[in-house]
Amino acid sequence: MDRERERRVGHRFIILLVFTVFFVSCKDDEKQVEVEEVAVVEEPEENIEFGFNLDDFIVKRDTIKNGDTFGKILDRNHVSYPKIFNIAEKAKDTFDIRYLQVGKPYTLLCAKDSLETPKCFIYQPNVEEFVVINFQDSIHAYTSRKAIKYVEKTATGVINSSISATLEEQGLSQRLAYKMADEIYAWTIDFRRLQKGDRFKVIYTDKFIDDTIYAGVHNVKAAYFEHNSEPFYAFKFVTDSAKGIVDYFNDEAKNLRRAFLKAPVKFSRISSRYNLNRRIAYYGFKLRPHKGTDFAAPVGTPIMATANGTVSKSDYAGGNGNYVKIRHNATYETQYLHMQKRNVKPGQFVKQGDIIGWVGMTGNTGGPHVCYRFWKNGKQVDPFREKLPEAKGISDSLKVEYLQFIEPIKKQLDAVDFLDEVFEDQDPAKPTIKQSIN
């Protein structure tokens, strides 16, 4: 078979030429070789997803609609309620079917029979995880993740107006802007007052699901920001692997953050400040001190722990509604009121930025917000008037390890050219990006 014919064969079929030399004749000192062509057909790849061969089923995909429940979905697909109840009971230790969220995708794997009877229910609470409730033979449930690939990249930029605009011009994720402004340099650089000509370099990791689905920026490994001609290095480092505590430190091992976040919610506004002299018309202008700071945000907005600590209370009480209280150390405590739902239990250790609940309107509240209360030595104070401590630094025993750890990363970062320093034959409108798979 000639090469032109080979190219016309479908991509799933590979034609191999197998040469077999078997008959050799020495007559007249000439060797004759028989060539036998054997066509080997490679079977098509299996259509695997969620650990199942989808070709074995009738696949039905949909999203959770308003009013949908696990029972209603299976009922309209010809599963009896006694069986639904049995499935739910046996699956509840792995996944509570009551918490299906509107808009989240699900997949039914159905038998190839006249009723298209469901055999497996797969729910995707996010782009990475999926919950399998398998009831083909015995009933069992489990949670798994899709294959994830991390790609390390470097990028640079020069500020003309804002970091967001710079990243947008280069087609880079705005998540990078958030990470640098709110996570890494929040306490060292005021990103609302950046100067034209400020510039940055960053080493970060992008995340891809099943090799092709972009899932955003995973983390920032290191960064360099030049603000008002002053350099600011930042390197990610694990200070407590047992508790999963990660911080950013500069090239001299100094922690870049404070012990407390500025706010327990992102992208919010202060609707009411700490005010011991507050008077409200609704209550006849009687003195009603407000010992918290209210952050207005839509219902369902994640509420974060503003510092590392241990949950001392997670409960419901009168005017507080659903609330969480965290003991950070012998001096400081914080409290978060009016939650829609709590996400932590008493005695649980939480890290700064962990989601402890979601904004709601429980208790005495006129609108969706979180009332953030702050205690110092047992007394409620205004956190915005307190000189809050810096985050814990690197211990002397870890400092040598840290400096050794960042040495090659700093060399990698320093080797990246700024966009205003690249060669003229490169397109200055695009970032300098290097990719490698971890």
Asked if residue 120 is part of any domain, the answer here is: yes
Instruction: State the pLDDT confidence band at 26, using cuts at 50, 70 and 90.
Output: very low
Helices (H), 147-250: 163-169, 174-178
Q: Residue 340 contacts by C-beta under 8 Å, 6 or more apart in sequence? A: 299, 300, 322, 357, 358, 359, 360, 361, 362
Question: Do 432 and 372 fall within a single domain?
Answer: no
Of 145, 166, 192, which closes a domain? 145
Q: What is the DSSP string of 122-136?
A: EE-SSSSEEEEEE-S
Q: 121-125, 269-273, 368-372, 420-424 — which is least confidently predicted?
A: 420-424
The per-residue pLDDT for 420 is: 59
Question: Do 169 and 242 fall within a single domain?
Answer: yes
Q: 21-30, 211-220, 232-241, 334-343 — which is least confidently predicted?
A: 21-30
Asked if residue 346 is part of any domain, the answer here is: yes
Asked if residue 390 is part of any domain, the answer here is: no
How long is the chain?
Answer: 438
Question: Do 235 and 185 fall within a single domain?
Answer: yes
Question: Do 333 and 238 fall within a single domain?
Answer: no
Q: Where are the beta strands (DSSP E) in 250-348?
A: 269-272, 279-280, 286-287, 293-296, 302-304, 309-317, 321-327, 332-342
Of 145, 162, 184, which closes a domain? 145
Question: Do 153 and 140 fall within a single domain?
Answer: no
Over range 241-255, report the average pLDDT.
86
Question: Do 280 and 353 fall within a single domain?
Answer: yes
Q: How far is the C-alpha of 307 from the C-alpha of 247, rounded, in Å?
A: 12
Please name every residue paired with 370 in a beta bridge, in sequence order, or none if there are none. Answer: 295
Q: 107-111, 158-162, 326-330 — which is least confidently predicted?
A: 158-162
Q: How far is the C-alpha of 306 from the C-alpha of 259, rounded, in Å?
A: 8
pTM, rounded to two decimals? 0.60
Question: Do 281 and 226 fall within a single domain?
Answer: no
Asked if residue 241 is part of any domain, the answer here is: yes
Task: Report whether pLDDT(104) > 80.
Answer: yes
Of 11, 29, 45, which closes a domain? 45
Question: Do 340 and 253 fall within a single domain?
Answer: no
Q: How far is the C-alpha of 283 from the C-alpha of 272, rounded, in Å?
A: 16
Question: Do 120 and 171 fall within a single domain?
Answer: no
pLDDT tens digit string along 327-371?
A: 998 899 999 999 999 999 999 999 888 999 999 999 988 889 999
Asked if residue 341 is part of any domain, the answer here is: yes
Task: Kindly report the CATH number assigned to the domain that includes residue 283.
Answer: 2.70.70.10
What string of H, E and C letters represents the secondary structure of 221-247? EEEEEEECCEEEEEEEEEEECCCCEEE
Q: Name the DSSP class of 382.
A: -
Decide the pairing of beta strands 321-327 and 58-63: unpaired
Q: How far is the C-alpha of 174 from the C-alpha of 163, rounded, in Å?
A: 9
The per-residue pLDDT for 40 is: 56
Supply the mean pLDDT for the chain: 82
Q: How far is the C-alpha of 162 from the C-alpha of 301, rounded, in Å?
A: 26
- Domain interval for residue 168: 149-257+400-437
Asked if residue 62 is part of any domain, the answer here is: yes
Q: What total number of domains does the chain contain? A: 4
Task: Report whether pLDDT(211) > 90.
Answer: no
Which residue in 324, 263, 321 sits closest to 294, CA to CA?
A: 263
The per-residue pLDDT for 190 is: 78
Which residue in 257, 241, 269 sits closest to 398, CA to CA?
A: 241
Question: Do 120 and 62 fall within a single domain?
Answer: yes
Q: How far is the C-alpha of 352 from the C-alpha of 417, rounded, in Å?
A: 34
Task: Report whether pLDDT(19) > 50.
Answer: no
Question: Do 213 and 306 fall within a single domain?
Answer: no
Per-residue CA distances from 127 to 30, 148, 160, 205 (Å)? 67, 10, 35, 17
Q: Are 224 and 200 in contact (CB under 8 A)?
A: yes
Per-residue CA distances from 86 to 92, 137, 220, 270 (Å)? 10, 13, 46, 48
Question: Do 112 and 168 fall within a single domain?
Answer: no
The per-residue pLDDT for 85 is: 92
Asked if residue 393 is part of any domain, the answer here is: no
Asked if residue 134 is part of any domain, the answer here is: yes
Task: Kindly report the CATH number assigned to the domain that includes residue 433.
Answer: 3.10.450.350
pLDDT tens digit string along 252-307?
A: 998 888 888 888 998 778 888 877 766 565 556 666 677 889 999 999 999 999 98
